[in-house]
Structure 1
């Protein structure tokens, strides 16, 4: 499969969407070695984003967010001839030559419309009509998927949640005591600053953080609080610089601008506290990068930040400057707490991987190329029924009512689809019945937690509910699938109670009074037609050459079960002459072939004979001219049937025979 990825925005920006595109392009070639990737880069960016045997760079002339993008970009995509086009920047061409997949990182501009300027509003305003037309939609978090379903009116099952991850570069490093670096002409010493990393824009909520810093300085002027802001200027950032000026924070706030990735890794490791006070985040990649480096993190309790940070960060209401100041002061002087948060952050960051994100993205590509629908969202279990309600139902109805995921697992997270981990509750909880069910006892639920997004579920144990309703029914809580799997299996039959027709084969042989060495034990169907006497040995029944007895033996052959008798010797008489000398009565059950075989002594069953007639060996003479054992008698074919008279030889046949010679 040939996949084109729109990476034109990387020529203008480095973080956010550009970082997502770069990391995805670096991970995809390793997980899909048989597929080909085309990186559409702007002409101003000559250096390829990814270098791999199955990755090629192609120059795109259309700038990102251009007003003619919907007309010119499809032409450039058509020249690349991909099977799928991936647009990481929200919008895909409406008129396109191939299926398209879009990634929606957040819908902050719908939560806060005032944060966009006119040009950004014109571009991102297309998302409401563009996303439903895409062949695949990727959300970077469960919070973003919920926003897409709400604001864009799309079914949640048509949206795939694929989490981002921190680059492998971001990891803990060893720092020397008093180590410092120079950023933007000013020295920065390790362990002496608060760190904020993001583009400067209104939704990052920097004015609230600056107010909290002012409160901390007023409470403890000599504590040494200092804030380092890393990130390029975005849009409508005038309020940030005005707050620094109005709060008299010029000596305590440093704007470092954009920095390289190695300097950023050092800052994550060297900061005293990393802070993310954003009002809204689609994913929060800087938070995950800081945790991967072992930084103690403070984050706003909003949007996707709790989903990403889990229990490895401290969450604060985004607009309460006093609480921000309290948490900053508490962590600033607590070395043990910061070290503990750092260890928890590293473990949390390891749960995210770009390799896994690449595999999940490839699955979306393949579905889009085949025009298949997105995977279904795990449906929540049905509403629980209390014990008294289960007792009032019929047994079959109760079984269908209990057809829900087992409380013993495994279970999938309803938010992100990951496997849930069972846990224990610190406090005792019980599910109390309604007022009209006072007789039912409370039922304790079981806790399941998601390590990826932090989602917690309390699951009702159905076995407890059923046993309260029907104490004498130990199998009532068995899964319904087990009952359906065994529905078609017959019940075992006791040999003592079995009827005669299906009794063991040994009893059948005993009923016929046949010797064990002769009677076939498995042919129970031959009882009705079996004779009362057993045929004597072949050498003791030479008088069986009478025509009447031969005809009777042939009639018994037609009603006896088919058996393959060993070939035997036969007399030299021609079968036609012997058949002509017989006066054969009309016997419908016996065909002519069976009669002829009985005359020649072939194919007649030797285990059971009729009317005391001997087996086939009784007709075999002991002369020297007899054929060897196993050979067919003279004048017959391989199966003992009489051969037809050869036709008169015509001149044509004579000529063909001469040619063959």
Structure 2
């Protein structure tokens, strides 16, 4: 049986959304019962096979091949085509960029085209590479997967690609994202991340980059803390520092909030449920998302969610979050005050959020992805 090859090189690279999608999809595909997976075999390509193997269920037998050289200028055009030829793969599934030529057709997942919609949020090098390579990959692909209807419509409008070539498979919060009620477990995570014990905090999570709009959140937090009931609150901004992250640190300094804003850095998956569960609210003021997985994870953990009304986010959160215009610091400050001043609202958002998160599953994503593979192989 000719296998489906899946590029999993980013697993373990702390690539946040792309890594979560790839790892969660692989796990869900391998967990499907044999009758659903009939006719499918998989081979996974990783730059560090042991690291990928450690993240998978040991009961799931799957081939993992080392892909080398690791740097993308060599891995994508040379190593991957050679690997698919060696493995006699029937299909190659990648994120964003596929080899320019190869021994088998490819399926590409394009989470969003933010590089084209908001080019100012990317370094000149990344912007040039993405604007050149991603459209080229999509035009050559046997099938395109994206993660929201909003992202699909943008791809169609921007590149004129046929709608029937693009499928939407929604992401989901993993099974580990559940409310953590144990105070000791929450406290242990606070201590591990260097956060003060027993102090109420708002949580923001995501790579520190301009698109996440964290500077505006800092401004709103400074406004909200003027209310007496918020004077003791803190802001936790978790995530890996990326391009232009210094602007966020500068905003904190300028607002005089150095003692009440905490940057624990990248947070491991194992610590996220407790971090979400312990928050007064999870705040996601992003200017643009193809899907927006962190709000769904926070909802699954019972955290009230405040997020922007931009791009795909209303499609994801439905009526289970407080949504605000991301450029309006005053509206965001009001939302922060509301969730503190109104315990009934906080409880309602928590309840609605858990119900909303339960509507999205990785199992369904895997089932729909298998169907896309079937169609792509036939085509």
Normalised to the residue count of structure 1, the TM-score between the two structures is 0.54
Change (3 A) 1:99 1:179: closer
1:269 partnered with 2:270: no
Contact 1:9 1:64 in 2 (8 A): no
Correspondent of 1:327 among 318, 327, 335: 335
2:368 & 2:186 partners in 1: Cα distance? 41
SS of the residue 2:97 aligns to = coil
SS of the residue 2:225 aligns to = helix
SS of the residue 1:123 aligns to = helix
Alignment of 1:610-625 (within 5 A): none
Change (3 A) 1:155 1:183: farther
Match of 2:11 in 1: 10
Contact 2:195 2:262 in 1 (8 A): no
Contact 1:298 1:313 in 2 (8 A): yes
Higher fraction of helix: 2
Contact 2:237 2:261 in 1 (8 A): yes
1:367 partnered with 2:368: no
Match of 2:187 in 1: 180
Correspondent of 2:124 among 100, 107, 118: 118
Structure 2's unaligned 5+ residue stretches are: none
Residues 448-467 of structure 1 deviation map (CA, whole Å, 9 limit, x = unaligned): xxxxxxxxxxxxxxxxxxxx
| Count of equivalent residues | 370
Match of 1:134 in 2: 141
Match of 2:222 in 1: 214
Change (3 A) 1:176 1:10: closer
Correspondent of 1:293 among 295, 301, 307: 301
1:282 partnered with 2:290: yes
Correspondent of 1:302 among 304, 310, 314: 310
Change (3 A) 1:276 1:86: same
Alignment of 1:235-250 (within 5 A): 235-250=243-258
Correspondent of 2:235 among 202, 224, 227: 227
Match of 1:154 in 2: 161
1:225 is displaced (CA, Å) by 2.2
1:53 & 1:192 partners in 2: Cα distance? 41
Contact 2:299 2:354 in 1 (8 A): yes
Larger Rg over CA atoms: 1
2:184 & 2:46 partners in 1: Cα distance? 43
SS of the residue 1:236 aligns to = coil
Change (3 A) 1:171 1:130: same
User: CA RMSD, aligned part only?
Assistant: 2.0
2:338 & 2:244 partners in 1: Cα distance? 32
Correspondent of 2:64 among 57, 67, 75: 57
Contact 2:67 2:79 in 1 (8 A): no
1:22 is displaced (CA, Å) by 0.4
2:374 & 2:96 partners in 1: Cα distance? 20
1:79 is displaced (CA, Å) by 1.6
Normalised to the residue count of structure 2, the TM-score between the two structures is 0.92
Residues 492-513 of structure 1 deviation map (CA, whole Å, 9 limit, x = unaligned): xxxxxxxxxxxxxxxxxxxxxx
Match of 1:93 in 2: 99
2:185 & 2:52 partners in 1: Cα distance? 37
1:320 is displaced (CA, Å) by 0.4
Correspondent of 1:192 among 197, 200, 207: 200
1:363 & 1:33 partners in 2: Cα distance? 10
1:339 partnered with 2:347: yes
1:76 is displaced (CA, Å) by 2.2
Bigger RCO (CA 8 Å, 6+ sep): 2
Match of 2:45 in 1: 40
1:58 & 1:91 partners in 2: Cα distance? 19
1:331 is displaced (CA, Å) by 1.0
1:186 is displaced (CA, Å) by 2.4
Structure 1's unaligned 5+ residue stretches are: 372-661
Contact 2:320 2:349 in 1 (8 A): yes
1:218 is displaced (CA, Å) by 3.0
